[in-house]
Amino acid sequence: MLRTGQPVGRFVGGAYRYSIPIVQGSTAGARKESCAAGHTGMMNQKDGEVIAVFPSSLSTAEGTAALRRLLALMGGCAFKAVLVTIFAVRVIFGRVITQRLAAMTAVMGRLAEGDSAVAIPAQRQNDEIAATTAALQVFKLLIGVGSRRRSAL
């Protein structure tokens, strides 16, 4: 600041320090005859040189504590949001896919055992599981035809 004549602000420890240079000849007060006589005449300083520094210091403890509380609150809320999202995905996945696949697996097992009377659950969706259901209908018919042929022989 003494070299550049520009204000300087920085964090030091638990405080924010801001220093403002007082430059010879830069303000009406610094141009007063008494100031000019003392600084330029007696101290051999020129206009534009820093003749003093006005420092100030503000504690950052309260602001830092508030910021930490806010970050902890945001982190906690984000964690809860992730948990809710994971739970929602699990519930949706369970309802949309897992339960339907479990039902289809049970039907496939019964068809594999030769039970052509097993009821294949109806599917309302138009997806891969519904396509599997259509294929199971074909297998059910084939098993029924095969069992009728065996009983006829």
**What's the per-residue H, E or C state across 110-142?**
HHHCCCCCCCCCCCCCCCHHHHHHHHHHHHHHH
pTM of the predicted protein model: 0.48
- For residue range 29-42, list pLDDT tens digits in order: 656 666 666 666 56
Interval 79-121: pLDDT, tens: 999 999 999 999 998 888 888 888 889 988 988 888 888 888 8
Residues in Cβ contact with 63 at an 8 Å cutoff, skipping those fewer than 6 apart: none
Q: Are 116 and 140 in contact (CB under 8 A)?
A: yes
Confidence tier at 27 by pLDDT (50, 70, 90): low
Contact call for residues 24 and 45 (beta carbons, < 8 A)? yes
Residues 76, 79, 81, 85, Cα dihedral to 10°? -170
Any idea which of 2-6, 31-35, 56-60, 65-69 has the lowest mean pLDDT?
31-35
Angle between helices 99-112 and 128-152 (to 10 degrees): 20
